[in-house]
Amino acid sequence: MTSRVPFAERGGAPRGLIDLAAGRYPSFLFGAQVGALLPVFHFHDVTRADLESKLAYLAENGYRTVSADEVAAYARGASKLDGRSVALCFDDAWASLWSVAAPLLKRFGFTAITYAIPDRIGEAATVRPTLEADGSAGAGGPPFVTWPELRALNASGIVDVQCHTETHSMVFCSPEISGFVTPGYRDTPLLNRPQLVDPPHLRFIQADELGAPLYPARSRMSEARRVPVSLEVHERLVDRVTHEGGAAFFDRPDWNATLRRLAGPSPNSRPEGEAERRRAIEEELDRGRAILNHCLGTRAVRHICLPWGVSSRDTADALVRLGYQSAFANRWSGMLAVRPGDDPFWLKRLPNRYIYRLPGRGRRLWG
């Protein structure tokens, strides 16, 4: 059983250089016109200063935004666009989608697509303040939008809500300990912290669980088979660190050896079978869409963005069986934009910093 993360599932500078050498970056990034491309830009958590200037650039240069249905139709060759269309995707549905992005989108007359994660969304008695109502922009509270906020965004027509899987999970794929939760783990992005227990008792590794063992992990949508890990070892190590000083425990020169000794030998854990893996993938995709449609009172959720862009043949096949209409997912071939004739289940996007490379007044081809 391999636990190494394939290069194709990694990002960073090396992957970017390979994409550049392979000609995957659209020519408009280097001064050409957009042509028969639909540029799709992705955002995560946003600030007012950054987003406002990008939306102003699009507005001043006459760009219009499209929905997920329009993206899929264009990929299938069922519609035409004029070279001034873009899609703006806000992954994960962070709280700033409600408090910052939606008011700015409304002001500039744009719409956006959000790929929401239903198991990360909580209920609330009311919605938080926004830029229009309060200069604090809704600071504080849950990191993601709440259900009342997502319902309001969906009803507004400004945000097209689609799916980002049910849980947006990485799963452990090896019983070999690769590290431990240390005080520095708080800098690990929230959505990159692996799943400790799978649904229906979903639980993720927490930054305050100092001493918890970590194992090689990959996306639930990948070809990796999940390996169950010992909750007893997890609790034993966390309890030991808690009772021996918490963060101060890691000032000891022997902290790593102590935790490995306490953890004991790696168990002979049996990975899930291939049929079990395929079923877990299909259930994650099916439940994610079903929960969103139910909670929003709609049937419009039929598109998906796969976490970290990771997919597999089994994932793509499951999307077809379940009736999804499109998916954003990375692979080695294909342009980093949407073109007529593209496989709708392997669509590509660009980071939002490239918005300024679009043709128009104030265009920035460098930096």
Q: Rounded mean pLDDT of the chain?
A: 94
> In the chain, which segments carry CATH 3.20.20.370?
11-167+286-357
Question: pTM here?
Answer: 0.95
Report in angstroms the alpha-carbon separations of 357 from 32, 54, 347, 351: 9, 11, 20, 11
Do 194 and 174 contact (CB within 8 A), yes or no?
A: no
Rg of the chain (C-alpha set): 22
Query: What would the pLDDT profile of 330-345 be if each residue is shown by its tens digit?
Result: 877 789 999 999 999 9
Cis, peptide link before residue 213, omega less than 30° from 0: no
For residue 152, how many other CB atoms are within 10 A of its CB? 17
Task: Please check the confidence at residue 2 and state whether its pLDDT lies above 80.
Answer: no
Of 352, 354, 357, 367, the closest CA to residue 44 belongs to 352
Q: Report the DSSP pairing between strands 85-92 and 112-116.
A: parallel
Whether 95 has a pLDDT exceeding 60, the answer reads yes
Give the model's confidence band at 1: pLDDT under 50 very low, under 70 low, under 90 confident, else very high.
very low
**Residue 332: CB partners within 8 Å, gap ≥ 6?**
8, 22
Average pLDDT over residues 240-254: 98
128-148 tens-digit pLDDT: 999 865 545 555 799 999 999
Q: Is 206 exposed, middle or buried (0-12, 13-18, 19+ CB in 10 A)?
A: middle
Single out the residue of 214, 212, 210 nearest to residue 245, CA to CA: 210
Q: What is the pLDDT of residue 72?
A: 98
Among 225, 245, 208, residue whose Cα is nearest residue 312: 225
Supply the DSSP symbol for 218.
E
Of 352, 348, 353, 349, nearest in space to 367 by CA: 353
Mean pLDDT of 228-241: 96
CA distance 360 to 86: 14
The answer to whether the beta carbons of residues 265 and 171 sit under 8 Å apart is no
pLDDT digits (tens, 9 = 90+) for 14-69: 777 888 878 899 999 999 999 999 999 999 999 999 999 999 999 999 999 999 99
Cβ–Cβ contacts within 10 Å for residue 63, how many? 22
Topology of the domain covering 11-167+286-357? TIM Barrel (3.20.20)
pLDDT at 10: 73
Which amino acid type is present at position 203?
Answer: R
| Tens-place pLDDT, residues 155-167 | 999 999 999 999 9
Q: State whether residue 115 is helix, strand or coil.
A: strand
Alpha-carbon distance 208 to 157, whole Å?
Answer: 39
User: Using CA atoms, how far apart are residues 289 and 249, in angstroms rounded to an integer?
Assistant: 43
Calpha distance 305→314 (Å, rounded): 16
pLDDT confidence of residue 137: 52
Q: Which two tokens stand for residue 137?
A: 């922009």
Report pLDDT for 306: 98
CB 320, CB 311: distance < 8 Å: no
